[in-house]
C-alpha cells in the first residue's frame, strides 16, 4: 500500500490528515453556504481540525470542496479513505425535507496541475457517501466523536493526475481526514530471487506475472516467478535460484563458504 504524497496548504488550514492535501473552498451558488475550516475539541480535549458545512435549514444546497491536483504516480487504481462525522437529521428540529444524511464524492482526471477552473459538470461521481453512525445533540454536548470511515476505489486513472471534490447537498458534515493511496506488491526476495515493486492490474481478477532476478552470487535453477495480486500480495511462487559454486545460502543471500575446498568435497556448497 502506497500513500500518494500531497499536502495541505497552510494558508487555507492546518487540517491534520495523513496526506495533508490542499483543499479549496468553492461556492458554486455564490452564496455564504461554504464549507468552513473549523477546529474543535474531542472528549479527551484534543484538537480536531475539520472542514464543516451545516446548511440544513435551506433547500437545494450545492456546496463543493475540491482538492488540489494529485499526481497518480505509478497507480492505475487509487483508493480514497474519508473520515467524517454526520449529524442525525431527526435530532435537528424544523428541518424535515431539507436536511440530508449523505454527501457525494467526485473526481476529475487531468494532465494539468495548475490553472484548472472549477466546473462541476466536468467531474465524475464516484459514489454517494453515507454514515454508519450519525451523532445527535446529546453527543455534541458530551463531545462524543462518532467517526465514520469509508473507502472508495477509482480507476483506471489514465492521465497524469486527478482532482477530488466533495459535494454537500444539505447535510451537517465534518470532514476530518482524507487519505489517498494505491496498492502495490512491494520489493521482495524469495528463493534467492529479487522481485521489484509491482503495480497490480486494474482488473482485480487477473494477476501480474513477474520474473525475478537472482541475488548476487546466485544462478537460476528454474525460472523464478511470482504473481502480483490486486490487493498488493505476492502469490504463487514458482522456480528458484541457487547459490553458485563456492557459496552457501545464509538468510536469503549467498556467502562464500568458510572452507570451500572441504565443503565442495562434501557437495554441501
Q: Are 154 and 165 in contact (CB under 8 A)?
A: no
Distance, in Å, from the CA atom of 99 to the CA atom of 89, rounded to the nearest integer, reads: 6
Q: What's the pLDDT score for residue 70?
A: 92
Q: What's the pLDDT score for residue 16?
A: 27
Residue 262 has what DSSP assignment? Answer: H
Q: Compute the average pLDDT of residues 55-70.
A: 90
Distance, in Å, from the CA atom of 24 to the CA atom of 9, rounded to the nearest integer, reads: 9
Q: What's the pLDDT score for residue 117?
A: 83
Which cell goes with 120? 462541476
188-265 belongs to which CATH class? Answer: mainly beta
Q: Could you read off the pLDDT of 6-15 as tens digits, one per residue? A: 433 322 222 2
Closest CA to 108 of 151, 66, 150, 152: 66
Q: Are 104 and 123 in contact (CB under 8 A)?
A: no
Report the CATH fold assignment for 2-182: Jelly Rolls (2.60.120)
Does 143 have pLDDT greater than 70? Answer: no
Distance, in Å, from the CA atom of 255 to the CA atom of 3, rounded to the nearest integer, reads: 36
The CB density around residue 257, as the number of other CB atoms within 10 Å, is: 17
Between 140 and 182, residue with greater pLDDT: 182
How far does CA 245 lie from the centroid of its chain? 46
Distance, in Å, from the CA atom of 184 to the CA atom of 208, rounded to the nearest integer, reads: 11
- The domains spanning 2-182 and 188-265 adopt the same CATH topology: no
Mean per-residue pLDDT over the chain, rounded? 82
Hey, where are the domains in the chain? 2-182, 188-265
Q: Are 183 and 189 in contact (CB under 8 A)?
A: no
Distance, in Å, from the CA atom of 198 to the CA atom of 175, rounded to the nearest integer, reads: 32
Amino acid at each position: 500500500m502506497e500513500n500518494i504524497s500531497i499536502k495541505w496548504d497552510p494558508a487555507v488550514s492546518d487540517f491534520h490528515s495523513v496526506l495533508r492535501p490542499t483543499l479549496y473552498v468553492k461556492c458554486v451558488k455564490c452564496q455564504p453556504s461554504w464549507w468552513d475550516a473549523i477546529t474543535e475539541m474531542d472528549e479527551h480535549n484534543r484538537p480536531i481540525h475539520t472542514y464543516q458545512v451545516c446548511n440544513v435549514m435551506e433547500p437545494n444546497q450545492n456546496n463543493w470542496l475540491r482538492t488540489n491536483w494529485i499526481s497518480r504516480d505509478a497507480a492505475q487504481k487509487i483508493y480514497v479513505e474519508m473520515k467524517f462525522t454526520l449529524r442525525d437529521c431527526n435530532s435537528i428540529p424544523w428541518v424535515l425535507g431539507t436536511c440530508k444524511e449523505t454527501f457525494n464524492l467526485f473526481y476529475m482526471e487531468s494532465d494539468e496541475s495548475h490553472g484548472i477552473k472549477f466546473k462541476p459538470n466536468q467531474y465524475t461521481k464516484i459514489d454517494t457517501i453515507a454514515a454508519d453512525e450519525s451523532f445527535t445533540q446529546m453527543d455534541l454536548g458530551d463531545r462524543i466523536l462518532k467517526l465514520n470511515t469509508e473507502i472508495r476505489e477509482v480507476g483506471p486513472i489514465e492521465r497524469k493526475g486527478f482532482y477530488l471534490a466533495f459535494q454537500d447537498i444539505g447535510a451537517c458534515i465534518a470532514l476530518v481526514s482524507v487519505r489517498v493511496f494505491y496498492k502495490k506488491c512491494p520489493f521482495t526476495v524469495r528463493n534467492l530471487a529479487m522481485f521489484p515493486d509491482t503495480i497490480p492490474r486494474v482488473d482485480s481478477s487477473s494477476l501480474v506475472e513477474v520474473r525475478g532476478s537472482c541475488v548476487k552470487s546466485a544462478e537460476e535453477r528454474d525460472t523464478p516467478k511470482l504473481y502480483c495480486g490486486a490487493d498488493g500480495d505476492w502469490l504463487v511462487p514458482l522456480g528458484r535460484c541457487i547459490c553458485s559454486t563456492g557459496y552457501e545460502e545464509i538468510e536469503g543471500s549467498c556467502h562464500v563458504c568458510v572452507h570451500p575446498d572441504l565443503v565442495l568435497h562434501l557437495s554441501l556448497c
